[in-house]
Structure 1
Amino acid sequence: MAGTGYDRQAAEDYRAAREVPRDGLDAWRAAVAEAVPLAPGMTLLDVGAGTGAFADAFHAWFGVTVLAVEPAEAMRALIPASAAIHALDGRAEALPVPDGCADAAWLGSVLHHIGDLAAAARELRRALKPGAPVLIRNAFPGRCDRDLRVRFFPETARTIDGYLGVDQVCAVFAEAGFARVGLHSLPQQSAPTLRAFADGLRRDADSKLRALDDDAYARGLARLRAAADADPEEPAVSWMDLLVLA
């Protein structure tokens, strides 16, 4: 997995700018509950856990134990401390967990950080119980037009165009014994209003925004603030995909 060079400030900026508030994730909670019957006593493997927002959410939502695997020390240090959430130093290609230990795996916005996806798929097959699903939250080429960043900073679509597509990801995981079960486009509310979203943007904390030149970023920010002025009550809702494999 790439992108491990975070210091403490960068990790805190990421948490402040990129994490979606828990109350903005209702659709995701419902979709996960439909995909897998998580319950207390079960274990979720969170691969590329970042600062632990979803690790904490999964425990709060379903009462599961979470094995939160994150290679960046500064990110891992911000994962909420809990007897039910275990922050582990590791990578998707070499998971530091026993065979058959997890009832589901979660990969949240991490596919494009994995250097060897085939190795990661094999590791997930090893770490999961038979029939346990992999839940992948990600942006995919050709399916990102309702992403807030693409809406206001359309040049960011070029970055997403470089990601593996849904069919390519499914093909890689098929070699490890996984089949596609479902693909759902789901909303998430990042901020109460577009203005609040604009005020909270931190360009350095977002790899897609960092990739823009200054003029493209300025144009996008102007579009965003104009939309916020035109409809001060519009919530900052973005859409991403949930790909379910089992």
Structure 2
Amino acid sequence: MAETRYDSRAAADYQAAREVPRDGLDAWRTAVSAAAGLAPGMTVLDVGAGTGAFASAFHAWFGVRVLAVEPAAAMRALIPASEEIRALDGKAESLPVPDGCADAAWLGSVIHHLDDLEASARELRRALKPGAPVLIRNSFPGRCDRDLRVRFFPETAGLVDTYPTVDRVCAAFATAGFAQVSLRPLPQRSAPTLTAYADGLRRAADSKLRALPDAAYARGLARLRAAAEADPTEPATSWMDLLVLT
């Protein structure tokens, strides 16, 4: 997948439109806790940290230190950096961190942006402590039917079909000694209602929506507005997979 380039406006749009509110991530907090056993004093490596939504969430949820690695300067500038959240310029294939420094790695909606899965796996193996998990939050081909964008803009499934499959990811990470522990879909509430979700869409901030022809986008938005009118109280709940490797 082609690299996405962000200027300050695009990064701000991404932050406003794509970050899931923390109160909509309860299922993810529970699943991460069970998979990684994070506790104060531990370190999480957030690879492709974007504007830092999950870096901030991990620190708030578990009291951990976060090394937030993000190659786009405009995105990195919006990470709420502190003594406990360090924003670092780097990529998965060349992580700017010491050997064996992290108790877990988080890759949120980034696996399809990586240029070299095998090299990324080797770098994660180097950066993680023995036995530390890799937590991958992503859409995968054939498993994205409950993504809100696929529900209302079905043509976006074609873009997801170009992403690495679960089998491809597991095979790449196996070359660095990782094995699959679990794979499960999890819900996230992007907005309290479908109307609020539609109002907050920023097409330019979403690679899936941006790739659609104008007519397909208009049809999808009409579907979304119709569903919101039919059930004004339906929350905007989407689903993504959590793949855990150790």
Q: TM-score range by the shorter chain?
A: over 0.9
Deviation of 1:82 after TM superposition, in Å, equals: 1.6
CA distance in 2, matches of 1:78, 1:117: 26
Pairwise CA distance, 1:2: 5.8
4+ residue runs over 4 A deviation? none
- 1:245 is displaced (CA, Å) by 0.1
Q: Scaled by the length of structure 1, what TM-score is found? A: 0.99
Distance 1:222 1:4 in 2: 27
Asked whether the 8 Å contact 1:51–1:78 carries over to 2, the reply is yes
1:131-170 to structure 2, matched below 5 A, reads 131-170=131-170
What is the aligned length?
246
Unmatched 5+ residue regions in structure 2?
A: none
Counterpart secondary structure, 1:154:
coil
- The 2-side partners of 1:165 and 1:91 are apart by 21
**Secondary structure class of the residue paired with 2:188:** strand
- The answer to whether the 8 Å contact 1:2/1:114 transfers is no
1:237 corresponds to: 237
Shift of 1:218: 0.2
The aligned residue for residue 171 of structure 1 is: 171
Which amino acid counterpart does residue 118 of structure 1 have in structure 2? E
Question: Per-residue displacement from partner, 1:175-233 (whole Å, max 9, x unpaired)?
Answer: 10000000010000000000000000000000000000000000000000000000000
Q: Is the 8 A contact 1:4 1:71 kept in 2?
A: no
AA at the equivalent of 2:90: G
Shift of 1:107: 0.1
| Distance in structure 1 (CA, Å) of the matches to 2:3 and 2:186 | 26
Shift of 1:4: 5.2
Partner of 1:83: 83
In structure 2, the residue matched to 1:207 is 207
Deviation at residue 83 of structure 1 after TM alignment: 1.1
Structure 2 residue 59 is the aligned partner of structure 1 residue 59: yes
Note the 1:1-246 alignment, pairs <5 A.
3=3, 5-246=5-246
For each residue in 1:26-80, what CA deviation from the matched residue of structure 2 results, as whole angstroms up to 9, or x when unmatched? 0000000010110010000000000000000000000000000000000000000
Q: Read off the aligned partner of 1:51 and give its amino acid letter.
A: T
| C-alpha distance in 2 between matches for 1:44 and 1:188 | 21
Distance 2:46 2:125 in 1: 14
8 Å CA contact 1:188–1:237 kept in 2: the answer is yes
2:155 counterpart SS class: helix
What's the secondary structure of 1:129's corresponding residue?
coil
Identity %: 80
Letter of the 2:64 partner, please give it. V
Distance in 2 of aligned mates of 1:70 and 1:215 = 34
Q: Following the alignment from structure 2 to structure 1, what is the Cα–Cα distance between the partners of residues 174 and 81?
A: 35
Task: Please list the CA deviations of residues 126-167 of structure 1 after superposition, one character each: whole Å capped at 9, or x if unmatched.
Answer: 000000000000000000000000000000000000111111
How far the C-alpha of 1:5 sits from its partner, in A, is 2.1
Alignment root-mean-square deviation, CA: 0.9
